[in-house]
Amino acid sequence: SAVISQKPSRDICQRGTSLTIQCQVDSQVTMMFWYRQQPGQSLTLIATANQGSEATYESGFVIDKFPISRPNLTFSTLTVSNMSPEDSSIYLCSVLRGKGYNEQFFGPGTRLTVL
């Protein structure tokens, strides 16, 4: 398995501000993923973050709203910009590990509430 930590674990933010979420993995991984889970919903992939290249965003998510950094193979950040109450969600980072790098592991999540 993988040990994945996220900071902060939760935050309450004001509308219009930005929050940067950090994800740290205990060993090097090629790909890191950022997911969003809105209240009462399942998870949706925001983007895939590869080291040394720009993140690949899924339909409905844009870099201006969710800029991502991937400075090395163990760390990534996701920023939620110009927040509105609709951004209130749990944000989770994820990596592929295991035999053949098939199994996906998730961090503990960051619970964001926007007032």
Partner 1 sequence: KQEVTQIPAALSVPEGENLVLNCSFTDSAIYNLQWFRQDPGKGLTSLLLIQSSQREQTSGRLNASLDKSSGRSTLYIAASQPGDSATYLCAVKENTDKLIFGTGTRLQVFP
Q: CA–CA separation, 44 vs 42, rounded Å?
A: 7
Work out how close the CB of 36 gets to partner 1 at its nearest, in angstroms, rounded to a whole number. Answer: 11
Binding-site member from 44, 72, 82, 84 for partner 1 (CB under 8 A): 44
6 to 35: interface string for partner 1, x by CB under 8 A: x------------------------x-x--
Three-class secondary structure of residue 81 per DSSP: coil
Distances in Å between the Cα of 43 and the Cα atoms of 37, 38, 90 are 5, 8, 9
Work out how close the CB of 65 gets to partner 1 at its nearest, in angstroms, rounded to a whole number. Answer: 19
Q: CA–CA separation, 76 vs 49, rounded Å?
A: 8
Give the footprint of partner 1 on this chain (CB under 8 A): 1, 6, 31, 33, 42-45, 48, 58, 90, 92, 94, 96, 98, 102-109, 111
